[in-house]
């Protein structure tokens, strides 16, 4: 009986050391070699957005038109107590504009929203599934392509979209 208690105490001590070591060691390359993306559609074309570039995803948000607004600006909307401009992501990419976009993302880098037609889901892909872009494409707003279930989705860089609306 005493031997069983001693073995149990040793096992508990081993498990505790293993648990603590898991937090002390740097993350393995396997865990950090994945990318989280949002899969979206613009004018029936498949795209992806980096989750790290997004502060929030919103559905059916009321966009209030701004008098005299032209170009890519759809209007303004309220996001968690912040009034922000909302731009048509489809038009920024050269696709036809959508009448009433259902989805909006708020950029993490600035209080700016981007509207688009359809949200397909979240993707977690290995780094090997992303191919860097070789040439300028989609108004220079994409940085690479991710392979997702047989589909190739260009990855839209919201930082580039922010620069495009500033110019």
The CA distance from 154 to 151, in Å, is: 10
Domain boundaries in the chain?
Answer: 33-166
SS3 6: helix
* Cβ-contact 113, 85 below 8 angstroms: yes
Instruction: Give me 126's structure tokens.
Output: 């290995």
DSSP structure string for 28-69 = PHHHHTEEEEEEEEETTEEEEEEGGGEEEEEES---B--TT-
Write down the pLDDT at residue 132: 85
> Cβ atoms within 10 A of the Cβ of 45, count?
14
Write down the pLDDT at residue 72: 86
Instruction: Give me 23's structure tokens.
Output: 């937090």
* Cβ-contact 157, 142 below 8 angstroms: yes
DSSP state of 100: S
pTM of the model: 0.76
Write down the pLDDT at residue 86: 94
CATH 2.40.50.180: does it fit domain 33-166? yes
Write down the pLDDT at residue 106: 94
Considering only CA atoms, which of 71, 133, 90, 82 is closest in space to residue 112?
A: 82
Per-run averaged pLDDT (10 residues), the chain, 167 residues: 77 80 67 85 90 94 85 88 91 78 92 93 90 69 86 91 85
Write down the pLDDT at residue 45: 87
The CA distance from 42 to 96, in Å, is: 9
Write down the pLDDT at residue 80: 81
SS3 4: helix
Write down the pLDDT at residue 84: 94
């Amino acid at each position: 009986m005493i031997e069983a208690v001693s073995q149990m105490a040793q096992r508990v001590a081993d498990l505790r050391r293993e648990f603590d070591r898991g937090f002390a060691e740097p993350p393995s390359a396997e865990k950090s070699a994945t990318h989280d993306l949002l899969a979206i559609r613009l004018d029936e074309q498949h795209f992806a957005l980096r989750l790290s570039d997004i502060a929030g995803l919103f559905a059916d948000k009321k966009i209030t038109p701004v008098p005299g607004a032209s170009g890519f600006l759809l209007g303004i909307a309220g996001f968690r107590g912040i009034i922000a401009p909302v731009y048509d992501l489809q038009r920024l990419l050269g696709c036809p504009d959508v009448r009433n976009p259902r989805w909006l993302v708020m950029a993490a880098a600035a209080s700016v929203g981007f509207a688009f037609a359809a949200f397909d889901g979240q993707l977690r892909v290995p780094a090997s599934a992303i191919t860097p872009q070789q040439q300028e494409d989609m108004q220079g707003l994409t940085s690479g392509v991710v392979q997702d279930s047989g589909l190739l989705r260009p990855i839209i860089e919201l930082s580039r979209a922010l620069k495009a609306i500033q110019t």
